[in-house]
Structure 1
Amino acid sequence: MRSFRIAAHVSSFVLAAVAALTGATAAQASDSAAATGYVALGDSYSSGVGAGSYDAGSGACKRSTKAYPALWAAAHSPSSFNFTACSGARTGDVMANQLGPLGAGTGLVSISIGGNDAGFADVMTTCVLYSESTCLNRVNEARAYVTSTLPSKLSDVYSAISTKAPAAHVVVLGYPRFYKLSGTCVAGLSENERSAINGAADLLNSTIKQNAATRGFTFGDVTSTFTGHEICSGASWLHSVNWADIGESYHPTAAGQSSGYLPVFASAA
């Protein structure tokens, strides 16, 4: 009789343990299955400025159907797709206006941010309109900002993403180098200016990569996919100065989004 009771207790314990493990596994599977939504955050390089085909409803944010987030979503059909990236966005704009769709069901997040904080639009305007020395001084100001101030701003954004979407795989996209040195351009900026701008882009990318890694995010480096397709390459995937639509200047074309950004994001995602 005593042996029967012991056996019964053991059987009950085993059944309870199996039920608990099965329940936990089911809950984990349920959570995993639920976290399949995709949220695309960031600035104009993510919204698709320069690619055309803008969603009229996005207004000044200029979200393009040819931007890499929209292209990826169309190809992979996530359970939900929220496209909040916006032209001109800085880190503070992401924090204030773009994080709303993030939640427990978010399984994938993409973001490009930091270029506007560093003032790269003003850098390019300065370099196009003023002397080489003025250009190089402005580039150095941007470099100093990237080194001293940008890391804490990136950390704030990345922390907020992790808090709001704890199950998400986050891919942080970098920026291309703008110029092919000793390329086909015979006018415009000097080689010193082009080299300095490329160097600043490299510094920006390395800073973003380092901060993304600290948070456990994946960094998507697009410099290799854009190599051979920079301004002055003869086959550019980046707009040079576009006087017809100045806002598209120094942004990826539709080919830059589909062949420069999309493969890097797709591989990282």
Structure 2
Amino acid sequence: MRITRLLVAVSSAAILLTTAATASATAGFHHYVALGDSYTSGPFIPAQRLDPLGCGRSTANYPSVVAAALHVGAFTDVSCAGADTTDLARPQQVPLNGTNAPQLDALRLDTDLVTVGIGGNDFDLFDRLVTTCPGLRPSDPTGNPCEEHFATNGVDTVKTVIGTIRPRIDAALGAIRQRSPGARVLVVGYPRIAPENGYCPDVLPFADGDYAWLNQVERDLNQALEDAAANGDAEFVDTYGPSRGHDACARGGSAWINGKDQDVFAAAAYHPVKAGMAGVAAVVLKALR
């Protein structure tokens, strides 16, 4: 009888310790703030919030999924479509006469978790790619006309632009640290848009040779984010690697990224779909745990 009682007591203690360890690993955040652009906010992914509507902030974006999974004490999502690093510190005008307050204003001294996904809109980097490259495909479908378009005297001007984005990320992380010195800060990278191999011009209308270049542009941007995180006492969350096989060309509902056709009931063109947000959230949660 005593042995049985002892075993039960030991067993109960083990369960309590395991539960406590799991809870400490996955919860306990007092105030979580999400900062970022449209790859964070999730335009057109149902259901859209109205504060303001022009930010395209979804209740199913990855910060919302992460906050729910962690059961955070308080959650503030100020991500906004079209935001670049300057919009972290200044009001951002958005469509439909809305204004998103400076994102950094959401940070508090007691904020203990911050995710930030930004940089792709600086110097109109992302917009220039998706508005220019599809129009150049007909001129050389199997070549790399977009890469050539952005080359000046043999210099890849897109790569140069990414080099100028890095200091902006450094400054942003410094500002986050000033406002929330005790926070765990995660810099969330961008998932892949183009496949590692193959093409799907009906979905992603870049010239065949520009697929590899687009992948390199994303890798360079993510590397800039990773370097900034390492320099700014933050953690980089790689979503490019985990999104292999979930690019815009992926079939059977496995794509994390929408293609060229905007769907106002699902996702903006060239942006994450709901499944993509869930995928990124899983990567972020894994990093936190």
TM-score over 0.5 (shorter chain): yes
Coarse TM-score class (shorter-chain normalised):
0.7 to 0.9
Q: In 1, Cα distance between the equivalents of 2:135 and 2:201?
A: 17
CA contact (8 A) 1:51 1:257 kept: no
- Written as runs of structure 1 = structure 2, the 5 A alignment for 1:103-182 is 103-118=108-123, 119-130=125-136, 131=139, 134-136=145-147, 137-138=149-150, 140-147=156-163, 149-182=164-197
Partner of 2:6: none
Aligned to 1:248, what secondary structure does the other structure show? coil
- Written as runs of structure 1 = structure 2, the 5 A alignment for 1:227-266 is 227-234=244-251, 235-245=254-264, 248-259=268-279, 261-266=280-285
1:75-126: CA deviations, max 9, x gaps?
2222211110100100000122101121221000001010001511211110
- Written as runs of structure 1 = structure 2, the 5 A alignment for 1:59-138 is 59-96=53-90, 97-118=102-123, 119-130=125-136, 131=139, 134-136=145-147, 137-138=149-150
Per the TM alignment, residue 36 of structure 1 is displaced from its structure 2 partner at its CA by 1.8
1:142-165: CA deviations, max 9, x gaps?
211112x11211111110000000
Partner of 2:211: 194
Greater helix fraction, Structure 1 or Structure 2 = 1
Any stretches of 5+ residues in structure 1 without a counterpart?
A: 1-33
Partner of 2:11: none
1:204 is aligned to 2:210: no
Partner of 1:8: none
What's the RMSD between the two structures over aligned residues? 2.1
Q: In 1, Cα distance between the equivalents of 2:190 and 2:182?
A: 26
1:206-252: CA deviations, max 9, x gaps?
01100111111000001122111112222322100024559811111
**Greater CA drift, 229-238 or 124-133:** 124-133
After TM superposition, the score normalised by the length of structure 2 is 0.75
Per the TM alignment, residue 180 of structure 1 is displaced from its structure 2 partner at its CA by 1.0
Partner of 2:34: 40
Per the TM alignment, residue 190 of structure 1 is displaced from its structure 2 partner at its CA by 2.1
1:1-24: CA deviations, max 9, x gaps?
xxxxxxxxxxxxxxxxxxxxxxxx
Aligned to 1:219, what secondary structure does the other structure show? strand
Residues 262 and 144 (structure 1), Cα distance of their counterparts in 2 relative to 1, 3 Å cut: same
Code of the residue aligned with 2:194 in structure 1: it is Y
Code of the residue aligned with 2:218 in structure 1: it is A
User: Stretches of 4+ moved more than 6 A in 1?
Assistant: none
Q: In 1, Cα distance between the equivalents of 2:198 and 2:250?
A: 6
User: What is the number of residues matched between the two proteins?
Assistant: 234
